[in-house]
Structure 1
Amino acid sequence: MESRPMDKQKRTSGKKRNRRNQGRKSAPSHLDQAPHFDPDKLMEMADVGDWNAVYDASVLIEEEGKATVAFRDASGQEIKCVLSEQEAALLTEGQTAVRVYLEEKKTTEEEVGPKLEASILKARYLDNFKSLEASFGSQERVNGVVLADTKGGFSVALGAKDFDEVLQGAGIRAFLPRRDASSNRLGREEIRGIAGEFHVKELDVAKGNVVVSRKVVASELEAQAQAEAWSRLEEDQVVVGQVKNIVRYGAFVSLNGIDALLHQNDLVWDKNPPVHEVVRLGQTLELKVLEVNPDEKRLRVGLKQMTPDPFELIKEKYEEGTQAHGTVVALTDFGAFVKMPEDIEGLIHVSEISWERVKHPQDHFEIGQEVDVMVLGMDSVARKLSLSAKALQKNPVEKIAETYPEGTRISTSVKSIVDFGVFVSLDAHVDGLVHIGELSWTQRPQHPSEILEEGDEIEIIVMGYDTQRQRVSCSYKRTKPDPFKEWEEKYKVGQTVEMTVTRFTDRGAIEELDGGLVVLCANRDLSEEKVHRAQEATKIGATLEGVVTEFDRRHLVVNISVKRLLQSERKEAYQAYLDKQDEDSNQRMTLGDALKAQLPTTEDSDA
Structure 2
Amino acid sequence: MATTTFPSRDDFAALLNESLGGENEAFEGKVVKGTVTGIENDLAVIDVGLKSEGRVPLREFAAPGQKADLKVGDEVEVYVDRVENSAGEAMLSRDRARREAAWDKLEKEFEAGNRVEGVIFGRVKGGFTVDLGGAVAFLPGSQVDIRPVRDVQPLMDLPQPFQILKMDRRRGNIVVSRRAILEETRAEQRSGLIQSLAEGQVIEGVVKNITDYGAFVDLGGIDGLLHVTDVSYKRVNHPSEVLNIGDTVKVQIIRINKDTQRISLGMKQLESDPWEGAAAKYPIDGTFRGRVTNITEYGAFVELEPGIEGLVHVSEMSWTKKNVHPGKIVSTSQEVDVKVLEVDQEKRRISLGLKQAQSNPWEAFAAAHPVGSVVEGEVKNATEFGLFVGLEGDVDGMVHMSDIAWGVSGEEALALHHKGETVTAQVLDVDVEKERISLGIKQLENGGGASAGAGGAPSVGGVKKGEVVTVVVRAVQDAGLDVQVGDDGVSGFLKRGDLGRDRDEQRPERFQVGQKFDAMVTGFDRSKKPNFSIKAMQIAEEKQAVAQYGSSDSGASLGDILGAALKEAQAGKTSKKK
Q: Same fold (TM over 0.5)?
A: no
Task: Tell me the TM-score normalized by structure 2.
Answer: 0.45
Which one has a bigger Cα radius of gyration?
1
